[in-house]
Structure formats: C-alpha cells, structure tokens
Structure 1
Amino acid sequence: MTELLTYRITVDEYDRMIECGILTEDHAIELIHGELVKKMPIGDRQAYSVNALSQQFSSKCALLAWISVQNPVRLSDSKPEPDVMVLLPPGSKYRNATPRPSDVLLLVEVSDKTLDKDRDIKGPLYAQNNICEYWIVNLIDDCVEVYRRPQPDGSYAEKYIRQKGETLDMAALPGIAIRVDDIL
C-alpha cells in the first residue's frame, strides 16, 4: 500500500495563510498538531450552550476576566478555536495578539459530535500546553467534565463531572459559581 506523505505547517505559516487570504472563515478549519482540521458545523444545542456560557461568564466575571467566544488560542504547534475562553484582563492586550496558554484561566469546548475529539485530541493538547483548566460541556450525557492540573504527559491530574442540579466553579476565580442547568 502506498503511504501518503503529509506536510505539517507551523502556527506562523498558518497565520500567514490567513493574512494572505489563502485561508478564510469560509474554510471552517483550525490548526491542530500542525495539520489543518475541518471544524464541525454548530447545532442548536451547541449554539445555546456557547451563548449561555458567554452570558454567564460576562455577567459574573466582567471586571475579573475577558471572555473570548470561538476565537483562537496560540499553542506550540496548534491554533484551535475553543468555544469559550476566560482570559486574564485587560481585553485590550488581545487587540493585536492571540492569547497564549498563560493568558487562559479557563478553556471550554461544547461537545456533541466532537466529544471524542475534544477528549482524546484536544484534551491532551491543552494539557501539554499547560492550559490550567479545561471544561467539556458534554451535550450527549448532559454533564460538564472538568479537567484541572495539567501534566507534561498530556493528562490532567484532576478530573470530575458535574451534573444538572450542581454548580461549577473556576479554580482561578473561586467564588464565582455557574449552575450546570444554566448552560445545558
């Protein structure tokens, strides 16, 4: 069997392709481990959860964080576009610069069709790049998976699940609680 040869690109090459108009929003892709990966279309439930998260974080973290919705984060060999990020303020620092892992207080993916990818590919990617806290809003099982304390091997030392009727809190902003029911 003939093996296909692939070419990986760097984040800088990816950015240049966007700047030159080679890649546009119409392509609906993100850079994962140096490869261009097609993003899935957003369904109604996912759109609702993304909007609900944005509303919750904006109202509860307004002076403490900058909320970024479906925008990129620059990692070592990737530039994914998570559904929601809670970033260190001030927001003006992101006017001309993509957030880096050290800027991210919380990163959230809302998952239905992408659940396996968000667990098995993006989770380790975020841990390897030291994203301190990662949530998967799991629309299949109606719960939120919480991952904290990233390890160099691509795992998280702490993992737990929050169900409907429970609340979520961010390690970086203790005291701010979000009800699971409000985002599912």
Structure 2
Amino acid sequence: MTEASIAYRWTREEFLRAWEAGAFDHRVEFIEGEVWSVVIGDWRGFTTGRILRALPGDGFQVTTATLPTGESLPDPDCWVLRDDAEPVDTVGTKVSVWAPADVVLVVEVSDETVMQDLGIKARMYGRAGYSVYWVVTKEVIFEHTEPTPNGYRTRREYRAGEHIPVHYADTALPVSDVLSGR
C-alpha cells in the first residue's frame, strides 16, 4: 500500500531561520509557502545585465535585492525603487520591506520559469500593488500594469522592433536591446 506524501508548507519565519542559518546549499526564494530553487545560467545572467545597464537610474535605484511581497520572499532578477524611499519594515535581520508605491518596476528574466512568472508571481506582485511587472523571455517582454488583488488588469507583449515603456522615467527601451545577446 502506498501512502500519498503531504507537501510541507513553510512559514516565512521558518524559511528565514533556515536561510539565515545557511541551511540552503544553493540560491532559493520563498514563494507562497514553498522554497523554490532560483534558476541560473548564461542567458539569464547576460539578459539581467543588459536590463540593469539599460534601465534609467536618475532618481531611482535599480537593484537585485530580495523583495518581500506579502508573506513571500521572491528574488526578482531586478527591480527599481525610488531614490528617496525609506524602508517601512524589515524581515529578519537582512531584508528591508518597501511601500508598494516606492517600487516602480519588478523584472523577472524567464526561461524555464515562464509559467510561474506569468502565473503565481504575476498574481503575487499585482496583489502587492507593484505598478509595473515585466517578464522577459527570449522572444518577448510581457508588461503587466494596473495591479489588482488578483494580479494585473492588463498584460501587453512587446517584441523585437518595438519599444517597451519605462513608465517611471517617461521613456522607452528598444526591446531588441534587451533581448539580443547570449
């Protein structure tokens, strides 16, 4: 007779204790009660680097820090914070919590994780109230805007040859510049 296993759901506090104690031997993030491995690789790294260099920073900070979101601790590939923002709280001893109005863009560079990034993470970031969320794939950038308690009201696709708006800086980036390369 085979018994079904019961998946263990972590609390944020349990995850933080394990993370701060060095219990994980690889990079992880905490998403809605589950510990997810962070996918690494050349394409993701080079694409993230291009985005970091391309995003306007005047009056803003572009970062790769953990971004506490509700009870989750995702590690977006990068995100943008108002320069004058002050943390509203901390999680554990190392992670600041920011007001949603101060987080002006969240970016996930997505290859193997596209379904999670367009699904669970879009709902999570929208529910948190982050105004703009991008999912960058090898062929398209999905822009999510108008956050709601269930995710985002709008999702638009941008492809090579088009420009994606950078709302916080009132400018746009050529999609080809972001998607080209390794």
In the alignment, the residues of structure 1 paired with residue 54 and residue 97 of structure 2 have an alpha-carbon distance, to the nearest angstrom, of: 21
> Cα offset for 1:169?
1.7
Q: Mean alpha-carbon deviation: is it higher for 93-102 or for 142-151?
A: 93-102
Q: Among residues 151, 175, 178, which one is paired with 2:173 in the alignment? A: 178
Verify the 8 A CA contact 1:30 1:39 in the aligned structure 2.
yes
Which residue of 2 is the match for residue 54 of structure 1?
52
Q: Structure 2 matches for 1:100-179, cutoff 5 A?
A: 100=98, 102=100, 103-139=102-138, 142-154=139-151, 156-174=152-170, 176-179=171-174
Which residue of 2 is the match for residue 15 of structure 1?
16
Which residue of 1 is the match for residue 73 of structure 2?
79
> Cα offset for 1:27?
2.2
In the alignment, the residues of structure 2 paired with residue 146 and residue 76 of structure 1 have an alpha-carbon distance, to the nearest angstrom, of: 21
**What residue identity is the alignment partner of 2:145?**
R
Verify the 8 A CA contact 2:166 2:173 in the aligned structure 1.
no
Provide the identity percentage.
27
**What residue identity is the alignment partner of 2:63?**
S
- CA RMSD in angstroms comes to 2.3
Counterpart secondary structure, 1:125: helix
Structure 1 residues 101, 118: CA separation in 2 closer, same or farther (over 3 Å shift)?
farther
In the alignment, the residues of structure 1 paired with residue 43 and residue 14 of structure 2 have an alpha-carbon distance, to the nearest angstrom, of: 34
Gaps of 5+ in 1: none
Deviations 1:103-137 (A, max 9, x none): 31100111111111111221111112222110011
**What residue identity is the alignment partner of 1:180?**
V
Counterpart secondary structure, 1:37: strand
Taking structure 1 as the reference length, the TM-score comes to: 0.83
Gaps of 5+ in 2: none
Counterpart secondary structure, 2:149: coil
Deviations 1:69-107 (A, max 9, x none): 2x2110112101011101121488699542435131100
In the alignment, the residues of structure 2 paired with residue 45 and residue 38 of structure 1 have an alpha-carbon distance, to the nearest angstrom, of: 17
**What residue identity is the alignment partner of 2:132?**
E
Verify the 8 A CA contact 1:72 1:99 in the aligned structure 2.
no
Deviations 1:30-70 (A, max 9, x none): 1010111122222x22222100000112xx22x3111112x
- Choose between structure 1 and 2: higher strand proportion: 2
Verify the 8 A CA contact 1:30 1:79 in the aligned structure 2.
yes
